[in-house]
Amino acid sequence: MTEFAVTLPIYILFMIGILNLYNIHQEVLLSEQRASADLWEDAVGVQSGFPVSVEMTPGTGAASATAHYASVGDFMSVANTIDTGTAAGGIYAESGFKAGAADMIPNVNVDPDPEMNINQVVCDPSFTSNLMNDRMLAGEMDFDNFAGIAGSVLSATGARPALGAGIRYGVVGGVDDHQFGSDSEASAMGMSQAFGGDVQTDYSALAPTRPVDRIGTVGLARLEIGTDDGFSDTANFGWGNIGSGADSIGSCP
């Protein structure tokens, strides 16, 4: 009986410690669940929310990614450097960087060599480079007609891949910052908590692509065709004088 009385406080301390460690573990799991739900809510918002968002161009997407990492204290992290840098460089810089990283793995040979600029993939300037370009203030500018003006605006913003292919830049994120073990929380639970603290969980993922309507994609391609005389003449199937090339074959019926 004496041994039991002596060791009982020790067992009580063990049980209190186990219960509080369980509470800490449970709070971490709940924080991860909330942050994950917040991440998916942000991702779904990019895919199905308002069609115009900061993730539409490389510049604004990179700024949004930097703001996210700065808000969670990871401004100097490697993840911020990679995600922000590849977002600012556009889809070709991102894909080229990832393919280049794979090329560094032993016994893995990426052929042809990865490129990080659209001008290294297709001729510039050309119809293809203008259509696929996502860099701001790049591409061939033309102010001779409506198609040229509209195409030049799209070239200046770099938003053509976002509008025509649903490409998005930057990251989506989920953050949860929760304090546990407070006196009020402990009283509500009917128990005393020896441990408490603050749990912060943050998740990030690349911004997902957005579904686009096929008509919009075709329309953007047709608009770019209107800036080229030869292409416009070929594609002008009774659509009127959309591009400058229509004048060379007369008025269409």
Q: Please say whether the beta carbons of 134 and 91 come within 8 A.
A: yes
Average pLDDT of the chain, as a whole number: 75
**Domain ranges (residues) in the chain:** 91-168+213-246
Q: Please say whether the beta carbons of 173 and 68 come within 8 A.
A: yes
Extract the tokens encoding 251.
Answer: 């008025």
Rg, the chain, Cα only: 28
pLDDT digits (tens, 9 = 90+) for 53-77: 888 888 888 888 888 888 888 877 8
pLDDT digits (tens, 9 = 90+) for 204-244: 888 898 888 888 788 777 777 766 666 666 655 554 444 44
Distance CA 31, CA 140 (A): 49
pLDDT digits (tens, 9 = 90+) for 87-142: 888 888 888 887 877 777 888 777 777 777 777 777 666 667 777 778 776 656 66
Find the Cα–Cα–Cα–Cα dihedral 193, 35, 41, 80, rounded to 10°.
150
C-alpha closest to that of 172 among 31, 77, 36: 36
